Amino acid sequence: MKLFSIRNLVLIYFYGSCIQFCSKKLKMDKAALLATVISQVKELKKDALESSKGFLIPVDADEVQVEPYDTGAGDGTISVRASVCCEYRSELLSDLREALDSLHLKMVKADIATLGNRVKNVFVFTSCKERSNDADADAFQLLASSVHQALSSVLDKASASPEYSPRTTLPSKRRRVSYFDTSSSSS
């Protein structure tokens, strides 16, 4: 009886699972099988993203989105829905509050969701100014760009922080040097 290592068993199981995903099981080499599995995984990821549109789920990439929002109040105010998705850090909420308080907008709604170390914050704002029909598009553009700029500055602040940026240089450690010749053999 041949004994398999755990790694080999996992690989055999994975290969068998990959074959089940494919419709053309019989005459397919490993490269074609892998290409088919990768395309199906991409399709499943796209479907999962589309099906989660209505839910508040953080995504893998840092992003800021600002879009018009209809509060249904009909009082003539301009409303926007803004979302920021990024990696969680301890100062994030205070940085968001500081950036958004500087805009002097009325916050109607705020939601937060976390998944692992990712966080997504969604805000609904209304402007305090009344809308005029002529300047409606211009007022929204100004409001959307100022909200986008404020939220982007929070993301930029996180990426500029040395605590959260990846190490690009190796730490300066002293190199060990041996003064003995290790290549000579002792007999």
pLDDT tens for 54-71 read 777 888 888 999 988 876
- Quick check: 167 pLDDT over 50? no
User: What fold characterizes domain 63-160?
Assistant: Alpha-Beta Plaits (3.30.70)
Task: Report the pLDDT averaged over residues 140-149.
Answer: 87
Percentages (nearest 5) of helix, strand, coil residues in the chain: 40, 20, 45
Copy the structure tokens of residue 22: 């494919």
- Quick check: 25 pLDDT over 80? no
pLDDT at res. 82: 92
pLDDT at res. 181: 53
The mean pLDDT of the chain is 76
Q: At what angle do helices 6-21 and 30-51 cross, to 10 degrees?
A: 70
Using CA atoms, how far apart are residues 36 and 21, in angstroms rounded to an integer?
8
- Quick check: 37 pLDDT over 70? yes
Model pLDDT for residues 109-128, shown as the tens digit of each residue: 999 999 889 999 999 988 76
- Break the chain into its structural domains and give their ranges: 7-51, 63-160
Note whether 64 and 155 are within 8 A (CB).
Answer: yes
Q: Where does 51-187 show beta strands of DSSP type E?
A: 63-68, 79-87, 106-115, 118-126
